[in-house]
Chains A and B, each alone.
Chain A
Amino acid sequence: MTSNEIRSLSDLRIGESGVIDDILAPRSLTRRLLEMGLTGGTRLELIRLAPLGDPLEVSVRGYRLTLRRDEAQAVRLRM
């Protein structure tokens, strides 16, 4: 099912999911994302966008997380 295509979390369509490949953000933001459970190999699904298009709601490790588009840009997923 998985291909080698790498996409940013912010480019996902609603309902699409991917597996975290890497996070390309400054160290402090990357750490924060890791702590929230966005470690390599974790599956993420984009659930919806907020009414104004930002922030995003994703499903990760059995809970719902919101993050802004700027932050989501840094999360690279293997599709």
Chain B
Amino acid sequence: MSTPTRTRPLRVALVGNPNCGKTTVFNALTGLSQKVGNYPGVTVERRVGVRKRPGGEILEIVDIPGTYSLGIRSPDEAVAVNLLMGRLPGERSPDVIVNVVDASNLARNLFLTSQLLELDRPMVVVLNMMDVARRRGLVPDARAMEEALGVPVVPLENHGAEAMDAVAAAVERVAQSPPPKPVVPVEGALSKSLADLEGSLRGRISRAAALLALEGEETLDSLDSSRLDEVRAALESEDPNWWKREAGARYRWIDAHLPCFLEGECKEPVRPDSGTANADRILLHRFFGPLIFLGVMAFVFQGIFTWASVPSDLLESGFNALSALVGRWIGPGMFHDFILGGVLSGVLNVLVFLPQIVILFLFIGFLEDSGYMARGVFIMDRLMRRFGLHGRAFVPLMSSFACAVPGIMSTRTIGNPVTRLTTILVAPLMSCSARLPVYTLVIAAFFGSGKVLGVMSTGGLVLLVLYALGIAAAALMSVLFRRFLVKGEPPALLMELPPYRMPRPGAVLRQTWVQSLLFVKKVWTVILIVTATLWFLQTFPRDESRSAVAATQIEAIESALRDGVSPEIRERLINEKRDIQNGLRSAQLEQSFAGVVGKAIEPVIRPLGFDWRIGIGLLASFAAREVLVSTMAQVFAVGADDEDVASLASRFRSAKDPRTGRLLYSPLTGISLAVFFVLACQCMSTLAIVRRETGTWRWPAFLFGYMTILAWVGSFLTYQLGSLWMA
């Protein structure tokens, strides 16, 4: 099948059961030279990597979605099968198939192997998880397997360079040799139908393609469909259960050969994995199991929420120092403002997510690699299913309480595209850490003191209600989405509970590194562009005459300060200078494009209790929610430093309409604003990552649209019903 003089790299398809350690092999084979994207139109991850070694051929390695069989019952399985058969548009058909097999679970893994052998393509079997196998007293005999399967079998003791060289060498070797023959014999009516199909087709077709065609999951280009229907109908009428027999025959073949696949000393009965069984007695215990799981999750959450803030804060202060340095170097002026406000803050907006992403993926890596993740799915599935989701949706959703960006990235562990998409669409409803400054501002402004029922502070209660609102909205929306939008059969939960094993730090670190790098590579353009645009909107047009007046005033104060004044006057002058600067920034913002937009949308947000000032804040906070706080500070001409949150809160509470002299905002406005922030997708980074994960702008556009509508309706109801109730 491969041309003798190859000008293109050898294309290798890496395929295996879920949990067989395929990703580790892929990472070890390709290093960091991998591209991750999506197959067009489906939420199925496409991973391709290149392996270049001196003296070896260039291998282009495609990671096929994990699958238990060559059946087509979901979009990811369709991608897997079509890729293997070279039927996916835009994808070259593989020259060699590398089948990763979990050595500790040979029987079930060999089912797929027996099907892959029927693809009529050169193939190599790689035995993974040898450590677990050995612990259970199962030592596969690679030589015996090679003989029975008719393809090279490479046992992997580790994932080091030498082991990978051995895999690559086997790949290069088989690429030159004829493809393997099917090993499982067919009987009865099925063998007649297969012969029938072969007879109708002058060219040969692979056994795998013929079986899929008979199952009705595949057409055969070279055969007109009425002929195929005829063969199919004949088979179904002669033996309606032929497909059960076919699967049974594979396992019969495996059962017959398994004893010879295991080395002599191991032919005694397989030792049960007592370590795993004992651990599960506690970890899956009716009471302790969920408790331990919640404890682990609390630990993970704490990690993203608290620990990540240390490097994030460091990053931020480092960036501020850098900004100051760059600012001094450039000198004041428009270019200075642009570099600081439009470019450097955009870079910071990208990098600030990295600590959370790194920490979450480290945790997920350890949980997956140790085998505990599957236990979490086992425990949570019943609960998540109530909302049309899957047990696997729990970790991404919980992570989204810290930040939706790593949360959405981690939905990749949900194999099924239906539940994965639903999870992506509701994850941003979880109250993330960026909403907390907004909640804090509202609480400080309107619910600072006071107790409910004498024990709980009003502020604490408000916070609790806001978090609960996010969860309730996510639950409701996921039920609605599963019913009306992302329909499709609820995927069956047929999942292996793998034996526990020591996580391998190397594999976990590599996966974390790949994910972090991918995040930066994929979203920095969007985030930089949006940051720069928002800066532009808030800066232009400028009121030059006003800034000139302010500049003269400041000049006068500075010269007075230089001349030397009494400490008392000095302090007054400094305050005065700050007020002038803040006043100027406020005035500039009001007449900028952002101010114009804020005023233009006022009629729309008026029913929510908001005015144009908050409108500007809503617009600006699209960069990141917490920007609302600094923008409102600018609107109210308050400095944006941390110690000014209290003064901002008091300005917020006591702000009066300059015309009527009445209070601008009531506690109800505060609640309405908080509700808006619970429900709205005010986050460009989330939209950028959804675009990256779904492969299209359609879903981020939908996400933004539905959450904005939800937020508007939520705030509208809050404000209007609240007003009625108060009146």
Contact = CB atoms under 8 A, between A and B. Distances in A.
Please report whether the interface of chain A is mostly helix, strand, loop or mixed according to DSSP.
mixed
Given A32-B71, A34-B248, A55-B493, A62 B105 contact: yes
A32 B280 CA distance: 26
Nearest to B276: A64
A5 interface: no
Contact of A52 (B251, B280, B382, B496): B382
B513 to A, nearest CB: 31
Contact of A68 (B270, B280, B290, B381): B381
A64 B497 contact: yes
Contacts of B251: 37, 39, 42
A33 B494 contact: yes
A75 to B, nearest CB: 11
Please report whether the interface of chain B is mostly helix, strand, loop or mixed according to DSSP.
helix
A36 interface: yes
B233 to A, nearest CB: 16
A62 B290 contact: no
B264 to A, nearest CB: 19
A61 B108 contact: yes
Interface string B473-500: 0000000000000000000111111100
A50 interface: yes
Interface string B14-57: 00000000000000000000000000000000000000000000
Contact of B492 (A32, A50, A52): A32
Contact of A54 (B68, B107, B382, B498): B382
Contacts of A67: 492-494
Interface string A62-79: 111111100100000000
Contacts of A32: 68-69, 71, 73, 492, 494
Nearest to A62: B270
Given A36-B108, A37-B111, A50 B497 contact: no
A51 B382 CA distance: 9
A57 B382 contact: no
Contact of B248 (A39, A52, A61, A64): A39
Given A37-B111, A39-B247, A51-B286, A66 B379 contact: no
Contacts of A27: 243
B457 to A, nearest CB: 34
B68 A36 contact: yes
Interface string B372-396: 0010011101110100000000000
A28 interface: yes
A51 B379 contact: yes
B494 A65 contact: yes
A66 B583 CA distance: 64
A38 B308 CA distance: 45
B179 interface: no
A27 B383 CA distance: 27
A32, A57, A62 — which one has the most chain B CB atoms within 10 A of its CB?
Answer: A62
A31 interface: yes
A40 interface: yes
B256 to A, nearest CB: 13
B244 interface: yes
A53 B251 CA distance: 31
Q: Categorize the interface residue count of chain B.
A: 35 or more
Given A55-B493, A66-B497, A40 B248 contact: yes
Contacts of B284: 48, 50-51, 57
B437 interface: no
B289 interface: yes
Contacts of A63: 105, 107-108, 496-498
Contacts of B290: 51
Contacts of B289: 51
A28 B107 CA distance: 21
A37 B110 CA distance: 10
Interface in B613-632: none
A29 interface: yes
A31 B243 contact: yes
Contacts of B493: 55, 66-68, 71
A54 B383 CA distance: 9
Interface string B230-252: 00000000000001100110011
Given A27-B243, A51-B379, A65-B495, A35 B248 contact: no
Contact of A34 (B244, B252, B381): B244
B496 A65 contact: yes
Nearest to A34: B247
Contacts of A42: 251
Given A35-B71, A51-B379, 10 more contacts: A36-B68, A37-B108, A48-B284, A51-B285, A51-B290, A55-B378, A55-B493, A64-B496, A66-B374, A66-B494
Interface of A: 27-37, 39-40, 42, 48, 50-55, 57, 61-68, 71
25 contacts: A31-B69, A31-B71, A31-B243, A32-B73, A33-B494, A34-B247, A35-B111, A37-B108, A39-B244, A39-B248, A40-B244, A48-B280, A51-B287, A52-B379, A57-B497, A61-B107, A63-B107, A63-B496, A63-B497, A65-B494, A66-B493, A66-B494, A66-B497, A67-B492, A68-B493
Interface of B: 68-69, 71, 73, 105, 107-108, 111, 243-244, 247-248, 251-252, 270, 276, 280, 284-287, 289-290, 374, 377-379, 381-383, 385, 492-498
The 7 nearest A-B residue pairs measured at CB: A52-B382, A34-B247, A64-B497, A35-B69, A39-B248, A61-B107, A39-B251
